[in-house]
Amino acid sequence: MKEEFKAFVRKKPELIKYVNSGEMTWQKFYEQWSLYGEDEKVWQLYKNNDKNENVKTDSFNITSITDMLKKVDMNSVQKGVNSLQKIIELLQGFTAGSAAKAANTASSYQPRQLFKKFED
């Protein structure tokens, strides 16, 4: 029985896409196959959806990307980039300033001689 189902799946490779995408499992397909057999009316649903999905994904890749790019407001993008640039400069100023202070502090520090007293 399993070998017959495997032969059926080899005839209908579009079923693999449903299992890989997580929409169906092999168990569910096997149950349908054991109930209905190779009746084309049952399996036509998966064949038609597969073709429609290919058309949708192809059209999504081309037209919707260009539509999305047309809708982008370049002024708002430029403002966002400028804001990020100011934040980066500010952070660089903090790190550069703290490094310079550490260098100044290290160079200006002179330890007191141990044998001298406070009045000396």
* Residue in the block written with tokens 């569910």: 28
Average pLDDT on 67-95 reads 87
Angle at 15 between CA 14 and CA 20, to 5 degrees: 105
User: pLDDT, tens digit, for every residue of 3-62?
Assistant: 888 888 888 888 888 888 888 888 888 888 888 888 778 788 887 554 444 444 555 567
pLDDT-derived band at 87, boundaries 50, 70, 90: very high
Mention every residue, 6+ apart, whose C-beta is less than 8 A from residue 43: 12
| Average pLDDT value for residue range 98-116 | 65
Residue 109: helix, strand or coil by DSSP? coil
